[in-house]
Structures are given as structure tokens and as C-alpha cells.
Structure 1
Amino acid sequence: MKPAPRTLDNTDIEILSWLFRDARISNKDLAQHIGMSPSSCLERVKRLQTDGIIEGSSLMLNFSALGGHLQAMVSVRLSNHNRQTVDQFQQDVLQQPEVIGLFHMGGEDDFLVHITVSDTTHLRDFVLDAITARAEVNHVETALVYDYQVSRRLPSF
């Protein structure tokens, strides 16, 4: 069980907001935007990391420039929902080089798999070989992604 998150103050929220927009911002620039010393700002960021609020940083890629000219969302329903089956499915699918993200969901579909592939033949082969060939999968639907954008604003709760 994860510990209850600590209460964040306005400075923590402002730090997170800037880092959410650009995780590569220098500590000096971050401190300047927030109006605090670089050493105090770095201490705050390290505490946010230690407390598990900042879990890492990520890199946005142009998948098309890397050969991933198509993106798709693959909806998957499993015939068996025990923990071992669900955990194994997640583990195996995340090992596939085409997979960008995996969402375990409630509702009609159990998983939504975000993938990138080179072309329609690659898409067909991925769906057949990595998804429908699995014994626990009983339904698959694939939808092409026309555009993919990510918010650069920190959500408010």
C-alpha cells in the first residue's frame, strides 16, 4: 500500500507546473520562475522526488521520424480476469516494441493498448501475433489514431 501523499503548498504546485511543461528546465531557470534561490528550489524538487510525487521524467518523440508512421489504439477484452492472467497480459504486452502505453480499464474493454507501427501490414501482424494469438484474449478492436497531443498543463484537483 502506498503512503498517503503529503500536502503540497503553492510553491510545490508551481514547481510541478513548470516541470510538467518542461522536465528539462534547468534548476536555475526553474528557481528564477518561482522566485526562490536555486539551492532551495533544488531541495524542494529532491523532496518531491523522495516523497514519490515526481516519479521520473519523460521524453516526447516524433514516432513518424523513427519509422512509426501509424498509431493505433487496440481495445482488448480478456476471457479470464484473475490477477495472474491480467498481470501476465500487461507484462507481455509492455515488452512489445510497438507499444507506447497500456491502459487497464473498467467497462466493456479490459485494456486499451496504444501502439505505433510502420504500416498497415505491421499493424495487422502486431494485432494477430501479439494480441489475438493469446489464449486469454476473446475480443479485439483496432482504431487508427489521426492525431496525438498531450496537455502541457498540470491538472488541478
Structure 2
Amino acid sequence: MTGGNPASEIRLDGLDHAILRVLERDARISNRELAERVHAPESTCHKRVRALVASGVITGFHAEIDPAALGLAIEAIIMIRLHAHARGDLRGFQRYLESLPATRRVYFVAGDRDFLLHVAVHDVDDLRAVVSDTISVRPEVAATNTSLVFDYALRRRTRDTVG
């Protein structure tokens, strides 16, 4: 869907990979602490991080918010299969999914489904409304299948590493 990825053409060395592993776990880390963890000078780390951002390897820094803290107690993955005739406008359908207020992430995937939609809602009535009254009524949609999310590893990892 997104064409070539220029970041995939960048040559990364061991230091770049070490920096990325540390930042992926804690993007708020200071440059000094980053340098200590990867055993490199602070100036080198600063230059490398700037280069990783400029090259598109690092696509952003963000906060991972616990949906429950916002009153969004129910998370689900909605698997969506489109009708064959609707596959001509995959980008448009993806933009539609991204625009839904409950959307946390949209994945365009291969296999027997076209999209996986990660949503967070207040309660099961809201989830039913998203699936039955919002997505399933779209003419492009051939089928949906919904799975509740009980927990996921990123949340635990983030809690373990943020002090």
C-alpha cells in the first residue's frame, strides 16, 4: 500500500541497532543514558539518532497511552475482509478506518483478511456499534470477525521499563 520504503535501503550497523533497541523500549531516555547503555560517546549517539530520524528509520516518538486510563475498558481486533470488487480503493478504505474515533491502529495484511483494526471503546455496546453499525454496513465489507484483547506484550514491556 505504501510503495517503497527508503528506510529499508539504509545500512545500519551494530551501534544503530543497539540505539534502536534502547529507544524502542524507552524513547524518553536522555542522550547521556542512551550513550551509557550502548557504550558510545554522547556526541556519536546524538548524531546517530538525528541521522536515523532524517533517514526515516525512526518515524516518530510518541507516548503509549493506556486506553483504560481514558475510560476505554474494551479493546478488540476486528478482522475485515472486503468484497473482491472493493479492492480497487484499498487506500480509501484504510483512510476511512483511520478516521473512526475508536481506531488505535490499522493494519493492511495478507491472507484471508484485508485489514486488522485495533479499536478501544468504553463498553461492549460501543464495540457492537463499531462492528455492526459502522463497519459491517459499508458496501465494501464482505465479513468481519472480532476478537477481544485481554492484554498485549508492549504494555507490559513499557510498564517494566518506564520508571
Aligned to 2:54: 50
1:40 to 17, 39, 44: 44
Aligned length: 152
Do the aligned partners of 1:78 and 1:139 also contact (CA within 8 Å) in 2? Answer: yes
Structure 1 residues 19-66: Cα deviation after superposition (integer angstroms, max 9, x where no partner)? 111111111111122222222210111111111111112321111111
Question: Does 1:101 pair with 2:102?
Answer: no
Residue aligning to 1:2 = 5
Q: CA deviation at 1:140?
A: 1.1
1:81 deviation in Å? 4.2
Aligned to 1:129: 133
The share of aligned pairs that are identical, in percent, is: 36
Match of 1:155 in 2: none
Which stretch has the larger CA shift, 54-63 or 69-78? 54-63
Residue aligned with 2:96, SS: helix
Equivalent residue number for residue 87 of structure 2: 82
Residues in 1 aligned to 2:34 and 2:126: alpha-carbon distance in whole angstroms: 42
Structure 2 gaps of 5+ residues are 158-163
**Are the counterparts in 2 of residues 72 and 143 from structure 1 also a CA contact under 8 Å?**
yes
1:97 CA displacement: 1.4
Question: Once superposed, what is the RMSD of the aligned Cα atoms?
Answer: 1.8
**1:22 aligned to 18, 22, 26, which one?**
26
What amino acid is the match of 1:10? Answer: G
Partner of 1:31: 35
Aligned to 1:111: 115
Does the 8 Å contact 1:68/1:116 carry over to 2?
yes
Unaligned 5+ segments in structure 1 are: 153-157
Distance across 2 between alignment mates of 1:132 and 1:138: 8
- Give the structure-1-normalised TM-score: 0.88
Higher helix share: 2
Deviation at 1:128, TM superposition (A): 2.1
Paired amino acid for 1:146: F
* Cα distance between partner residues in 2 of 1:13 and 1:30: 12
Partner of 1:13: 17
